[in-house]
Amino acid sequence: MNVRVVAATAVAIVLLMVSTSGPAQTKTVAERLGYPADAKLLIVHADDLAVAHSVDAASFDALNKNAVTSASVMVPCPWLSEVAGYAKDHPDADLGLHLTLTSEWKSYRWGPVESKDKVLSLFDLSGYLWPDTAPAAQNIKPEEAEREIRAQVERAMAAGIHPTHLDSHMGVLFAKPDLFAVYVKIAHEYHLPFLAPRIPGDPLKFSSQLSAKDSVVDSVVMANPSVHADQWKEFYENAIKALTPGLAEMIVHLGHDDAELQAVTLDHLDYGSAWRQRDYNFVMSAELQKMLEDNHIVLVQWRDLRQLK
């Protein structure tokens, strides 16, 4: 297993954990949104828009058919203009920003939005963003991360994308307290909700950086490389059954297993084209809808949380 897989798996494991730490609230997120305190709220969220046309096409289809309730955009990636066109035509689409400080694929790479001379610590030796979470977190200077993610927000808004929330590609902004602080600062500055998962014991003291208005996500469901292809439905079914009252997010990676996405994800089975086709097939299935109904899940959007800011 290479470093990227280890890093992605570690992030997935962290996000799947749940604890009771976090800023005190007199009301739960459900109550603040007008639901009963014991409601099980779920955001079904598609990651990685703009990374490829295949990913965009699958994600747009899922958004249009309400198979997912939210998605987020990788601003440095080449297909940003396609997402901007979709945002213009679908102003009610719940589109956030997948703040991107890594470029993980073997032969398909990208750099930052900000000028190179202002964010030198974001570059690896090949001249692109770091390919893995660990070296990115180790090398990126917080002040340069701030410049870059601010530039990504501004680039998205200039393109006509009005973000509903922020989250972090490959969890880089969850890797160190100083990077998390930058993430929270930018979210607060733009009055945007952001993915802040509960972490057992809160070892990095993330909760101390949150305000009373911030909505903490109680649990995150995301397939990881330990899930075999023939266990896809079973993984999600078990995860949905295990949801408890509170706010959860199910992160999926959608795409079509076509020539473009196969080239993008070359030599990388996890989160690759076949993986994304499986996620697409699952979220578009009647089986998922039945799982949600049987387990009394209430679907919400990040846009709903923005009204609490």
Each residue's pLDDT tens digit, 107-161: 999 999 999 999 999 999 999 999 999 999 999 999 999 999 999 999 999 999 9
3-class state of residue 274 by DSSP: helix
Q: Who's near 293: CB < 8 A, 6+ residues apart?
A: none
- Tell me which architecture the domain covering 3-306 has in CATH: Alpha-Beta Barrel (3.20)
**Mean pLDDT estimate for the chain:** 92
Can you give the residue ranges of every domain in the chain? 3-306
Given a cut of 90, whether residue 9 has pLDDT beyond it is no
pTM exceeds 0.85, yes or no = yes
Q: Residue range 247-276: average pLDDT?
A: 97
How many percent of the chain have pLDDT more than 90?
89
Given a cut of 50, whether residue 10 has pLDDT beyond it is no
Residue 309: pLDDT band (50, 70, 90) is confident
Residue 182: pLDDT band (50, 70, 90) is very high
Q: How far apart are CA 53 and CA 148, in angstroms?
A: 24
Given a cut of 90, whether residue 1 has pLDDT beyond it is no
What Å distances lie between residue 12 and 32, 199, 261, 304, CA to CA?
Answer: 28, 12, 22, 25
Element at 98 (helix H, strand E): strand 95-99
Q: How far apart are CA 266 and CA 277, in angstroms?
A: 15
Burial of 160 (0-12, 13-18, 19+ CB in 10 A): middle
What Å distances lie between residue 169 and 5, 245, 282, 297, CA to CA?
Answer: 14, 27, 22, 26
Amino acid 302: pLDDT: 98
Token output for 197: 């998962």
Q: How far apart are CA 47 and CA 55, in angstroms?
A: 9
